[in-house]
Amino acid sequence: MPTIKDIARETGFSFKTVSRALNGEKGVSEKSATIIKKKAGDLGYVANSLAGSLKSGKTGLIGILTGPLGLGIKSKKLYAIQRELEDLGKKSLLSCSDLNPSSLSDSLPAFFSLVDAVIVLQPPDDPGLFTLLNQFNKPILLVDGFSDGMPSLTIDRERGVLEALSRLHNNYDRFIYLNSLPDRFYDGRYKGFRQFTSALDSTKESFIKKARGVTYEDGRLEGHLLDDSLFQGKRTLILCTNDQMAMGLMKGLYERGISVPEQAGVIGFDGDDYGPFLYKSLATVKQPVEELGVMAGEILENLLRGTAKRMVYSLTTRFVPGESV
């Protein structure tokens, strides 16, 4: 493989001049740079990016830390972030783990040494993790997560839930949140439901039911287990933790002969690609996946340049109507 020395020998320029021309540095005339770059192309020269990164202290890599992905909304967020980084001319280095501080403490130093900055996608609310991350002197951005004193891009789940329930308020007499999240994890879906139901008058009912899980089959099982009385007399609206569960719930209700939305309305959460193609298109609260990727890239660029103007940025969810309500 040809080297800078080979190009210098072939063109008659010094090693330093050839190096400057190939790296786009000042001090080389346009005519000389053109000759050097042409000869480099003729010889098949490929820049040694590793050597350049050692010299500059920059690798051009952005680290992404996240938990297990699966096939859900988190994978879409990851893809949106990676695509935006690619548009910005950066490559990403992905690490998937349980984000447990004790298991990360040995591997993170090596990970941080390879990257210019780190994005942490959907970090758990674990002070130990944030303390560990703050030990490294590189820009860190929490995406769909928050910690005091750390740059954070959050998603307002509460607003979309409030919008959905408020718009459907007059059509239903009973409101249920089918919650599959851990008891300690009261996120915007829970808060939005609580805020909405706290203002209901005495003629309307509401409660939160603990679900068995977040999958399609979990939702289908819940569709079979919900008490018959919930679908008699009063119209019931059921908010689910995610779209997969909501689609399963609709299947379970269908198998029982309970009509959606005449007897029971169903709302999902996330904005799954398959929701619009059900036998009744799924109403949902959509997460801003594409906007998240773009904004994460913009914030990261500002962090790398040292021009970030604030610590916390926020995107909101929105209600997307469907035939299921």
Q: What is the pLDDT of residues 29-54, one digit of tens each?
A: 989 999 999 999 888 887 665 555 54
Cβ(274)–Cβ(213) under 8 Å?
Answer: no
Percent of the chain clearing pLDDT 90 (strictly above): 73
Superfamily covering domain 4-47: lambda repressor-like DNA-binding domains (1.10.260.40)
For 210-219, the pLDDT digits (tens) are: 998 889 999 9
* pLDDT at residue 226 greater than cutoff 60: yes
* pLDDT at residue 2 greater than cutoff 90: no
Distance CA 102, CA 156 (A): 30
Residue type, 28: V
Pick the CATH number of 157-286 from 1.10.10.10, 3.10.310.50, 3.75.10.20, 3.40.50.2300: 3.40.50.2300
**pLDDT the model gives residue 70:** 74
* pLDDT at residue 184 greater than cutoff 90: no
* pLDDT at residue 237 greater than cutoff 60: yes
**pLDDT the model gives residue 180:** 84
Percent of the chain clearing pLDDT 70 (strictly above): 94
Residues 6+ apart with CB under 8 A from 304: 116, 117, 139
> Residue ranges of the domains in the chain?
4-47, 61-156+290-316, 157-286
The residue assigned the tokens 């990261």 is: 300
**pLDDT the model gives residue 15:** 87
**pLDDT the model gives residue 118:** 97
Neighbours of 180 (CB within 10 A): 19
Cβ(72)–Cβ(242) under 8 Å?
Answer: yes
**pLDDT the model gives residue 19:** 84
**CB-hemisphere CA count at 13 Å for 228?**
2
**pLDDT the model gives residue 51:** 55
Cβ(282)–Cβ(266) under 8 Å?
Answer: yes
**pLDDT the model gives residue 29:** 92
The CATH architecture to which 61-156+290-316 belongs is 3-Layer(aba) Sandwich (3.40)
**pLDDT the model gives residue 175:** 97
Tell me what the mean pLDDT of segment 251-269 comes to.
Answer: 96
Cβ(267)–Cβ(283) under 8 Å?
Answer: yes
Confidence grade of residue 56 (pLDDT, cut at 50, 70, 90): low
* pLDDT at residue 76 greater than cutoff 70: yes
Mean confidence (pLDDT) of the chain: 91
* pLDDT at residue 138 greater than cutoff 70: yes
